[in-house]
Amino acid sequence: MLVLGIESSCDETAAAVVESSGVRPRIRSSVVTSQIEIHRRFGGVVPELASRNHLKMILPVIEEALKRAEVGLTDLSGIAVTQGPGLIGSLLVGFNLAKSLSFATGLPYRGVSHLESHLFAAMLEYDFDFPFLGLVVSGGHSSIIWMEKLGQYTTLARTRDDAVGEAFDKIAKFLKLGYPGGPALEEAARSGNPRAYPFPRAVMKNRSLDFSYSGLKTAVILKTRKHPAPLSPSQVSDLAASFQEAAVDMIISRVETALRQQGVNQLVASGGVACNSRLRERLAELSRSLGVRLLLPSPPLCTDNGAMVAMSGLLYFQAGLTSALDLNAYPIEAFYQPGKNNK
């Protein structure tokens, strides 16, 4: 089975072809075009510019993915596309194109969740199955999900305000570290002291595992403003390292609680923030201490890509589950939105 995956939920236009062969599916091709240079001068993603660039790049990216995989549309078994959540203008570019291709070729298609696709990316590098605990951490999401079986999930934690990646980006912008903010802040933190500033770790009432990064973000800003300007390079590094450690602490404490509560022995972590070396190090330490198997995709599969979408589609097609042409994209934060048009 060959599945084309299309991803356009934010500012990457991506397409990939995944093949089910042997023990583990393999990536036949994966093409990702970035919009970093377009949005750099604004210090963040501008939705209108993102959707316009998707319109420009979506067909060339799909054509290149098919070319690298050495297949044509007629060789495919189906098309998978990100349904949501994301920027609605960006989502609709990929989503409507997938439906058009399905209508024109007669190929089945499946609208899939961006979040579950991040977790299923691990299946391209590891042999495992349900159930497992999923952690999705990115610029738009901070979620912990109990994945019992395909399409049957329970969200144990979500963000109350800023997602962790959004907090990274905002603090990096405030400290003038550059764009994109997450990698720039991580680089600054390498030479800093993570214990230089005792920033707060948010704890929710009623034992909720939900995330909140607004307080941490405010604490960093207030502490920075108390320093005489301009900040020295060492002060910037200490602030970055202390913020990063507090942000990672909040993830680790919640994941540990969820693992103990669910009694699960498999943890999958993905999303752009899962590329952060300190988080990866702490997740590895946690999994060893609890005797849990950690399934952590390589960085290119953690960030937005078409292969993760194709992997989701492959699972649904193998289960005989497709989408109807009147299905629509959804922009809101939701891990899984079952509906009458996903059958």
Q: How would you label 143-174 residue by residue, b for 16+ Cβ within 10 Å and e otherwise?
A: bbbbbeebeebebbbbbeebbbbbbbbbbbbe
Q: Does domain 132-296 have CATH number 3.40.630.10?
A: no
Question: Mutual orientation of helices 233-262 and 164-174 as an angle, nearest 10°?
Answer: 170
Q: Convert the pLDDT of each residue in 112-133 to its tens digit.
A: 999 999 999 999 999 999 999 9
Helices 47-69 and 88-105: angle between axes, nearest 10 degrees: 40
How many angstroms separate the CA atoms of 108 and 273, rounded? 33
pLDDT number for residue 341: 46
Structure tokens at 82: 């990100």
Query: What's the pLDDT at 228?
Result: 77
Residue 283 confidence (pLDDT)? 98
pLDDT value of residue 333: 57
Burial class, 52, CB count within 10 angstroms (exposed 0-12 / middle 13-18 / buried 19+): middle
* DSSP 8-state secondary structure symbol assigned to residue 341: T
Phi and psi dihedrals of 153, rounded to 5?
-130, 155
H helix and E strand count, the chain: 11, 10
Partners of residue 32 on adjacent β-strands:
14
CB 43 within 8 A of CB 84: no
Give the pLDDT score at 335: 45
- Could you say which residues of the chain have pLDDT below 50? 334-341
DSSP 8-state class, residue 211: B
| Common-topology check for domains 2-125+303-318 and 132-296 | yes
**The CATH fold of domain 2-125+303-318:** Nucleotidyltransferase; domain 5 (3.30.420)
Predicted local confidence at residue 75, as pLDDT: 97
**What residues does each domain of the chain span?**
2-125+303-318, 132-296
For 99-125, b/e burial (b = at least 16 CB within 10 A) is bebbeeeebbbbbbbbbbbbbbbbbbe
pLDDT of residue 41: 87
For 27, the enclosing helix (H) or strand (E) is: strand 26-34
Count of CB atoms within 10 A of residue 255's CB?
Answer: 25
φ/ψ (deg, to 5) at 18? -115, 140
